[in-house]
Amino acid sequence: MGRVRIIPSTINPLTLQSINSSERRKVAAYARVSTDSDEQYSSYEAQVKYYKDFIQERVDWDYVNVYADEGISGTSTKRRVSFNLMIKDALEGNINLIITKSISRFARNTLDTITHIRKLKTAGVEVFFEKENLWTFDSKSEMVLSMLAAIAQEESRSISENVKMGIRWGYKEGKVSMPYKNFLGYDKVDGKIVINKNEAEIVKLIYRLFLRDGWSRSSIADFLNKNNYSKPSKKTNWTTLNITSILTNEKYKGDALLQKGYVENYLDHTVKKNNGVLAQYYVENSHPGIIDKEEWNLVQEELTSRERFRYSYSSNNPYSSKLICECCGHFYGAKVWHSNSPHRKIVMQCNKKFINKCDTPSISKESVNERFVQAYNRVMLNKSELIEDTNELVTLLTDTSDIDSKIQDLNNEILDIKLLIEGMIKDNTSRTQNQDEYMKRYNGHLEKFQTLKEQLDEALIQRELKCQKAEAMKSFVKEIEDKQEFIETFDPVLWNTMLNEAVVNKDNTVMFKFKNERVITI
């Protein structure tokens, strides 16, 4: 047998450097403060200074950088910009050693921790966890690291559950909070919600442009961008979504709907819309409102109305949202007659006139304006009587005792038949019986259950519509209290705020439907 000669290794399999190398290690540190509150800022600065001094004191280490993230949860590494940059730099060979306070500072997600440690180890990069006194190149580190990371993850889950429980208890108590940095119009002062007067003026302007002046949401966004108005989030421009959010948020009328969304998974912090998965809590008059409740309700009506003609609405043409063809129900639009002649004329005409062969007439804007003035004056002829009549209608609409009784009866019937079906199922599992007869009875009860459920859903919808109509009537009264009883010229603001729609009839009359359900035909 030949002689065996050992050739010693010259490369450290962990550091991937020469064993006899005197090369200094390139060292970086990672620091993280888990909240962005002012109280934690000093802790953040202290960590950065500590690690910088700690690394520079070692004669065999070269200081690279202190990577630090502020105000970001450690549960997942996806959103930590500095952390991800550090990993990238390490994998590219710019770092040999990373120092961090503890596993919980590095990551509280077991998968993230193990994945990044193994990736770094493969690239010859070591991590030192001070609190645990753990060096990842140590042969025992893999098992210890897995155990400690799992404990940290469980701690994160426990904290997350406790936080959620605290928030939900707060909801039940009607405690309202806002994302003040990204929420226009309010500040937090001494723990209370207070109106930011400058920002509140922007909110009022948005509501006025939309409701009174009939502007579209995109036009409002363009106007605010062009004139450099403060934005809800300082990093973005005004968008149609911003405007929609402000116009539909109940907090601007002083109320608050709590638990609109929820975090389904504590690891990725993804917020899902609450579509009935969890209870919601509506708190009335929880804080000072910027917009009157009546005006807010009118805006919701206007938003619903405009949804009907999403692609035909024009803020430059108030008629496009209100003027309707009796024949086909489509909107009237402006058309140019004799465009290249001295007799050029703009008229309003059904947009589907030739497609649907409508025999409703074309009508000039001037004629529409004159007729609206007449209809308005007729409606407002006796304003005090109009207000009194509308208030009586509100009283009738707010009396839901009949429909509430019907809903209660349906609920009782549904409960009875539900118990009956459950009893049948239990009986069928406990004794032998004819299954054809059983299924016939079961399906009969089930069909009745579905019928009752549909009736209940319909009753609930009717009740909601009745309440909405009552709110609309209240808003109408509020709207006309300071309006003139007689006008001589067309006012687009009155057209927008007082009118639901104007129907052009075949006989050349126009039927004006006002928001208090009064109908005037001119």
What are the tens digits of pLDDT across the range 412-444?
Answer: 888 888 888 888 877 777 777 788 888 888 888
Residue 170 or 139, more confident: 139
Tell me the average pLDDT across 513-521.
Answer: 87
Q: Which tens digits make up the pLDDT trace of 158-169? A: 555 555 554 444
pLDDT at res. 19? 43
Is the CB of residue 491 less than 8 Å from the CB of residue 499? no
* Residue with tokens 């753990």, as numbered in its chain: 134
1-5, 37-41, 156-160: range with highest mean pLDDT: 1-5
Token pair for 256:
């608050």
Is 50 exceeded by the pLDDT of residue 13? no
pLDDT of residue 504: 93
CA of 234: how far to CAs of 182, 229, 398, in Å?
8, 10, 43
Q: Which two tokens stand for residue 453?
A: 């459920």
How large is the average pLDDT for residues 293-319? 68
Report d(CA 108, CA 477) in Å as an integer. 58
**Helix, strand or coil, per DSSP, at residue 236:** coil
Burial-class residue 368 by CB neighbours within 10 Å (0-12, 13-18, 19+). buried
Mean per-residue pLDDT of the chain: 77
Q: What is the pLDDT of residues 278-304, one digit of tens each?
A: 556 677 777 888 888 878 887 887 787
Of all residues in the chain, what percent carry a pLDDT higher than 70? Answer: 73
pLDDT > 70? residue 337: yes
For 458-515, what is each residue's pLDDT tens digit?
Answer: 888 888 878 777 877 777 787 778 788 888 998 887 887 788 889 999 999 999 998 8
Average pLDDT over residues 58-67: 89
Q: What is the mean pLDDT of residues 39-62?
A: 78
Check whether 22 has a pLDDT greater than 60.
no
pLDDT for residue 142: 64
pTM: 0.44
* Residue predicted with more confidence, 266 or 391: 391
